[in-house]
A and B are shown apart, each in its own frame.
Chain A
Amino acid sequence: MLEVRGLSKTFQSGGLLRQGQSKKAVDDVSFHLQASETLAIVGESGSGKSTTARLAMRLIDSDAGQIFWQGNDVTQVKGRALRLQRHQIQMVFQDPFASLNPRMRIWESVAEGLRVHRPDMNKQQRRDAVADALQQCGLNANIMQRYPHQFSGGQRQRIGIARALIVKPKVLVLDEPVSALDVSVQAQILNLLKELQKTSNLAYLFISHDLSVIQHIADRVLVMFDGKVVEQGNVKDVFSHPQHDYTRELLAARPITHPSQRINL
Chain B
Amino acid sequence: MLEINDLSLAVPMQQASVPAVSHVSISMKPGRVMGLVGESGCGKTLTAQSILRLGEHQGITKISGDIQLHGESIFSMSEKQLRKVRGRKIAMIFQEPMTALNPVFSIGSQILEVIGLHLDLSRKDAKLHAIQLLEDVGLQDVEHLLQQYPDALSGGMRQRVLIAMAMSANPDYIIADEPTTALDVSVQKRIIALLRKLQKDKGLGMLLVTHDFGLVAEMCDDVVVMYAGEVVESGAVMDIFDHPAHPYTQALMGCRPEAAQDGQALTVIEGQVPAPGEWPQGCRFAARCPYADADCQQAVVADAWQHGEHIARCVHVRMQEEGQANDGADTAC
Contacts and interface: CB of A to CB of B under 8 A. Distances in A.
A253 B255 contact: no
Contacts of A186: 255, 257
User: DSSP class of A's interface residues: helix, strand, loop or mixed?
Assistant: helix
A250 B238 contact: no
Contact of A255 (B40, B185, B211, B237): B185
Contact of B257 (A185, A216, A250): A216
B211 A182 contact: yes
A109 to B, nearest CB: 21
A45 B186 CA distance: 11
B241 A253 contact: no
B131 interface: no
Interface in B81-97: none
A17 interface: no
A44 B272 contact: no
Given A153-B40, A256-B218, A257-B213, A184 B269 contact: yes
A183 interface: yes
A254 B185 contact: yes
A258 B241 contact: yes
Interface residues of A, number: 37
Interface in B196-228: 196-197, 200, 211-218, 220
B224 to A, nearest CB: 15
A255 B211 CA distance: 13
A255 B218 contact: yes
A40 to B, nearest CB: 12
Interface of A: 44-45, 152-154, 182-188, 190-191, 194-195, 209-213, 215-217, 249-250, 253-262, 265
Interface of B: 39-40, 155, 184-189, 193, 196-197, 200, 211-218, 220, 237-238, 241, 251-252, 255-258, 260, 265-269, 272
Pick the 6 closest A-B CB pairs, nearest first: A255-B214, A187-B266, A216-B257, A253-B186, A187-B255, A212-B257
